[in-house]
């Protein structure tokens, strides 16, 4: 009888763990969409400018790679660092939204963050999608190791286009 109880308990544990894993995977998937990221009003300027930006669905006239929020703003080197960064950034944004922790509705905060954009974009993600670079002088220097540059120094506009600053300022008027 004890052996049967152990087997049934193990089977029940396996089913519960499997269900928890599937539910967790679905939650991670559902919270990784641009629509979810923009569900808080303070993210609207980022969403609207991404839509029309080079990597967004409406601004992708030149055949640029389409990218979503998590493609650029979360690390993709391994699942653990991805989940830690996702949980950390999501918690910070949620608390800022709920508690108005001094930044959620503060355009000055977002404008200052524009200068720090390199801290919010994982350049390795750029390199993952853009493995083949145009053969120009800047890219040659990067490939040869003569310059250890961040892609955003030249391509600062690719995520949200050139209108982001204007959209952030509009946030303060609402």
Cα distance between residue 158 and residue 174, in whole Å: 26
Q: How far apart are CA 68 and CA 34, in angstroms?
A: 6
Same domain, 47 and 94: yes
Please, are residues 66 and 59 in contact by the beta-carbon 8 Å criterion? Answer: no
Residues 91 and 57 occupy one common structural domain: yes
- 125: domain CATH number is 1.10.3820.10
In a shared domain, residues 130 and 93: yes
* Total count of domains within the chain: 2
User: What pTM was estimated for this model as a whole?
Assistant: 0.77
Distances (CA, A) of 20 to 9, 16, 70, 71: 16, 6, 23, 25
Whether 32 contacts 143, CB under 8 Å? no
Residues 72 and 155 placed together within one structural domain of the fold: yes
Burial category of 152 from C-beta neighbours within 10 Å (exposed 0-12, middle 13-18, buried 19 and up) = middle
Residues spanned by the domain of 148: 36-172
In a shared domain, residues 89 and 165: yes
The answer to whether the CB of 88 falls within 8 A of the CB of 154 is no
> How crowded is residue 110: how many other Cβ atoms within 10 Å of its Cβ?
22
Domain identity same for 6 and 64: no
User: Is 48 in the same domain as 7?
Assistant: no
CB 118 within 8 A of CB 159: no
14 and 91 both lie in a single domain = no
Average confidence score pLDDT of the chain: 83
Own/partner contacts of 107-110, CB < 8 Å, gap of 24 or more, are: 107/168, 107/169, 107/171, 107/172, 110/42, 110/45, 110/168, 110/171
pLDDT in tens, 61-98: 666 678 899 999 999 999 999 999 999 988 888 887 77
165: confidence class by pLDDT, cuts 50, 70, 90: confident
Report yes or no: 35 and 50 within 8 Å, Cβ to Cβ.
no
Regarding whether 121 and 104 lie in a shared domain, the answer is yes
The tens digit of pLDDT for each residue in 17-44 reads 999 999 999 999 999 999 998 887 778 8
Q: Please check whether residues 61 and 76 belong to one and the same domain.
A: yes
């Amino acid at each position: 009888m004890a052996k049967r109880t152990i087997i049934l308990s193990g089977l029940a544990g396996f089913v519960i763990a499997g269900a928890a894993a599937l539910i967790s995977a679905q939650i991670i998937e559902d919270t990784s969409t641009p629509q979810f990221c923009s569900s808080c009003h303070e993210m609207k300027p980022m969403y609207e400018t991404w839509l029309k930006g080079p990597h967004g669905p409406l601004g992708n006239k030149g055949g640029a790679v389409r990218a979503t929020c998590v493609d650029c703003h979360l690390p993709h080197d391994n699942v653990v660092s991805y989940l830690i960064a996702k949980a950390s950034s999501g918690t910070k944004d949620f608390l800022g939204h709920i508690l108005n922790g001094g930044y959620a509705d503060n355009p000055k905060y977002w404008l200052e963050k524009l200068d720090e954009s390199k801290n919010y974009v994982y350049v390795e993600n750029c390199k993952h999608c853009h493995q083949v670079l145009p053969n120009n002088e800047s890219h040659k220097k990067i490939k040869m190791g003569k310059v250890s540059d961040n892609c955003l120094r030249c391509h600062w506009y690719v995520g949200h286009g050139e209108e982001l600053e204007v959209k952030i300022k509009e946030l303060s008027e609402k």
